Amino acid sequence: MYDLIVLGGGPAGLAAACRAWQEGVRRILLVERDDALGGILNQCIHNGFGLHRFSEELTGPEYAGRYIRMLGQTGVEVRLATMALQILPGQDGAPHEVHTLSPTHGYEVLQTRAIVLAMGCRERTRGAIALPGERPAGIFTAGAAQRYLNIEGYLVGRRVVILGSGDIGLIMARRMTLEGAKVLACVEVMPYSGGLTRNIVQCLQDYDIPLYLSHTVTDIKGHDRLEQVTVSQVDANRRPIPGTEMVFDCDTLLLSVGLIPENELTRQAGIEMDRRTHGAVVSEAMQTSVPGIFACGNVLHVHDLVDYVSAESERAGAAAAAYLQGNPSASLPSLRLDNGAGIAYTVPQRLHPGIGEAQVFFRVNRVTGPAAVVAENDAGETSRFRRLRFAPGEMERITLPANLVATAKEHITLRLEEGSV
């Protein structure tokens, strides 16, 4: 019997487990399906991680190393090469069950009083975006190509087109260029980039790689291996415009078209989901609709920065500890955070009114110049948070003042307000 089982040994699981231990929880098991801790950070060999969390610029493996060493100082039990197959929530305060499979322990049913979901996310594939054309070899998700290159040591192609301007695609444009490949173009269907501005500069502009905004792939040709990709401009409704076709001779197409939280276990357990984030609905304590089950990191919503994953996961670890130490909050609180105009989602989605101030992550659904996000509760209280710009590719973080939370009756609505600054 465990007090806490953490599912996933990436940045979210590491931070949650470390923090729960620091808060006094002792029987903790961390389950990881890979052969090593660190998750996706191990293949993110570029730098730029940790400026918020550690006030210095680290590479992915170095950032993971900090937390792996921190975990090594604790008594948290770690099981690698172990796949969690199923979660069965306990009824009426009974322990939860986690079913796992591993080469060393076989099939096991583990009992635990609390669970932190930290399984991360995976990439959207060709199937998810319905790319037209033939189906030759040479089409990879950017993260798969990154793993081949940085972990296994294989360069997946020589002449490359990248579809999507998410950060992984931009990072791979630079990485493959440095390894001798020719990256012909980065193609983005939206009129703005999905990645961080710094990555447009240091990954594309540094290497003279053109970025085609409002363009998409409209045909793929190749018998065995990819031979040609056709790219067309799209109109305001994202429909290809005839006559704008450009043909690229290439052997590789990388897809950087979004990430999906990996929530099979969550759904199967009957936990309430948010169709906007594709993750669980949580309170400010990162607790899901099932008491004692918490969620954090990219399994909850896709983050831009690992630093924020760590901070959120430390909150989940601390909340799991508080739950175990006899401060259990029941099911989800009733105070809702609603998405008004211009807001794509918020995390958390629910708040306890008595918590004082509340930290909220959100994304907007369009690019703006100087603008404000307004939080308004149903008692007429408002707070305003100004920024020089908003973009869907950049997750924002605000702190709602205690008064706004305390006086709300049923909901607080966030909305984007332009031209008011």
Partner 1 sequence: MKEIICIVCPRGCQLTVDEANGYAVTGNGCPRGAAYGKSELQNPTRVLTSTVRLTGAALRRLPVKTDRAIPKGKLREAMALLDTVVAHAPVTEGQVLVADLLGTGANLVATREIPAE
Q: By CB under 8 A, name the binding residues for partner 1.
A: 35, 42, 45-48, 51, 57, 59-62, 65, 149-153, 178-179, 196-198, 200-202, 206, 304-305, 394
CB 21 → partner 1: shortest distance, Å? 21
CB of 7 to partner 1, least distance (A): 24
Q: Is the dihedral of CA 74, 79, 81, 85 positive or negative?
A: negative
Between β-strands 252-255 and 139-141, what pairing exists: parallel, antiparallel or unpaired? parallel
Q: What is d(CA 85, CA 107) in angstroms, rounded to the nearest whole number?
A: 9
Nearest to partner 1 of 219, 394 (CB atom) = 394
Q: Amino acid identity of 159?
A: R
Q: Residue 198 Cβ, how far from partner 1 at the closest point, in Å?
A: 4
* Of 149 and 265, CB closest to partner 1: 149
Min dist CB 399 to partner 1, Å, is: 18
Nearer to partner 1, 206 or 264 (CB): 206
Backbone torsions φ then ψ of 243, nearest 5 degrees: 90, -5
Nearer to partner 1, 56 or 245 (CB): 56
| Helix (H) or strand (E) run with residue 176 in it | helix 167-178
d(CA 321, CA 328): 10
Which residue's CB is nearer to partner 1, number 11 or number 60? 60
> Would strands 335-339 and 411-418 be described as parallel, antiparallel, or unpaired?
parallel
- Provide the H-helix boundaries in 2-80: 11-22, 60-72
d(CA 216, CA 231): 5
Q: How many separate helices (H) and strands (E) can be counted in the chain?
A: 9, 29
Separation of alpha carbons 322 and 91, rounded Å: 20
Give the nearest distance from C-beta 65 to partner 1 in angstroms. 5
* CB closer to partner 1, 68 vs 285: 68
Listed in sequence order, the DSSP H helices in 30-88 are 60-72
- Cβ proximity to partner 1: between 210 and 356 the closer is 210
Q: Which is nearer to partner 1, 87 or 305 (CB)?
A: 305
Q: Is 378 left (phi over 0), alpha (psi -120 to 50) or beta?
A: alpha
Minimum distance from CB of 273 to partner 1 (Å)? 29
- Minimum distance of partner 1 from residue 35's CB (angstroms): 8
Query: 210 exposed, middle or buried (CB, 10 Å; 0-12, 13-18, 19+)?
Result: exposed
Q: 148 or 248, CB closer to partner 1?
A: 148
Helix orientation angle between 11-22 and 306-324, rounded to the nearest 10 degrees: 40
Cβ 201 to partner 1 shortest distance, Å: 5
Smallest separation (angstroms) from partner 1 to the CB of 50: 11
Look at residues 325, 329, 351 and name the one whose alpha carbon lies nearest to residue 414: 351
User: Cα dihedral angle (48, 281, 411, 393), rounded to 10 degrees?
Assistant: 30
222: left (phi over 0), alpha (psi -120 to 50) or beta: left
CB 125 within 8 A of CB 141: yes
Residue closer to partner 1 by CB (options 155, 406) is: 155
Distance of closest approach, residue 82 Cβ to partner 1, in angstroms: 18
